């Protein structure tokens, strides 16, 4: 067996492979051959240094944190887009309801048509409706103020519902005459929904600190 064969077998044994040569044969040759013994010592030293050498692992902290921040920002933008669309629909619905109420109240306020009530009472009620309509229009134009009108709208809706139910039960009025009061309930619901959408707290994103960037 030549030195090349022995060194090939020794290299395989250092790598954890089958040297295909009996260990006593390799050890005997190494003990009697200074060249192979020196080669084995050098090979063992190189193998040990290679195994102990630290592996340079790239630092992925900054890219991971940047990806997390981008994902959170994208989620917030999507939520804000949905809230904006809902807010616009509610504003339009509230504006339509207010304009409709104003269109009904203004002729009564200005002309005072005849009816079950005297003209003075008609004008007083129409003035109240006009004031409410203006408030609803303002809430539609400035939705951040919608929450301020919610208590007034709900008190009005509750009072109208209770008095209408009482009058219908006592046969003082007919159900068909009280259907118009449903507009107050609808307006109160629209104001409440708009106040919730526009008044939802916007939590700022927690800052993501990327190492090496301050």
Q: Is the pLDDT of residue 53 over 70?
A: no
For every residue of 11-72, DSSP letters joined together read: HHHHTTS--SS-HHHHHHHHHH-HHHHHHHHHHHHHHHHHHHSPP-----HHHHHHHHHHHH
Q: What is the pLDDT of residues 63-120, one digit of tens each?
A: 888 899 999 999 888 888 888 888 889 889 888 888 888 888 788 778 755 555 567 7
Calculate mean pLDDT across residues 207-211: 45
| Percentage of the residues of the chain whose pLDDT score is greater than 70 | 83
Question: Please, which pLDDT band fits residue 176 given cuts at 50, 70 and 90?
Answer: low
Q: Is the pLDDT of residue 206 over 60?
A: no
Task: With beta carbons less than 8 A apart as the criterion, state whether 69 and 205 touch.
Answer: yes
Q: What pTM was estimated for this model as a whole?
A: 0.49
Average pLDDT, the chain: 79
Question: Please, which pLDDT band fits residue 204 given cuts at 50, 70 and 90?
Answer: very low
What is the Cα–Cα distance from 186 to 57, expressed in whole angstroms?
63
Domain range summary for the chain, segments of one domain joined by +? 3-52, 83-199
Give SS3 for 1: coil
Top pLDDT among 171 and 67 is at: 67
Q: What is the pLDDT of residues 120-132, one digit of tens each?
A: 777 777 788 888 8
pLDDT at residue 86, rounded to an integer: 87
What is the Cα–Cα distance from 147 to 20, expressed in whole angstroms?
87
Contacts of 193 (CB under 8 A, 6+ apart): 90
């Amino acid at each position: 067996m030549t030195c090349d064969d022995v060194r090939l077998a020794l290299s395989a044994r250092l790598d954890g492979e089958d040297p295909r040569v009996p260990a006593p044969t390799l050890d005997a040759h190494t003990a009697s051959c200074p060249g192979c013994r020196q080669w084995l010592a050098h090979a063992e030293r190189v193998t040990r240094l290679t195994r102990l050498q630290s592996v340079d692992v790239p630092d992925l902290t900054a890219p991971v944190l940047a990806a997390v921040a981008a994902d959170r920002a994208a989620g917030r933008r999507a939520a804000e887009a949905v809230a904006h669309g809902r807010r616009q629909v509610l504003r339009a619905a509230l504006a339509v309801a207010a304009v409709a109420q104003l269109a009904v109240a203004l002729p009564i306020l200005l002309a005072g048509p005849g009816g079950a009530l005297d003209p003075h009472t008609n004008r007083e009620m129409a003035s109240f409706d006009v004031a409410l309509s203006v408030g609803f229009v303002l809430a539609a134009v400035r939705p951040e103020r919608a929450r301020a009108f919610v208590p007034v709208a709900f008190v009005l809706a509750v009072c109208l519902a209770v008095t209408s139910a009482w009058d219908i039960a006592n046969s003082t009025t007919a159900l068909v005459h009280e259907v118009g009061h449903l507009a107050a309930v609808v307006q109160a619901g629209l104001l409440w929904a708009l106040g919730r959408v526009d008044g939802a707290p916007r939590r700022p994103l927690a800052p993501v600190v990327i190492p090496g960037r301050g």
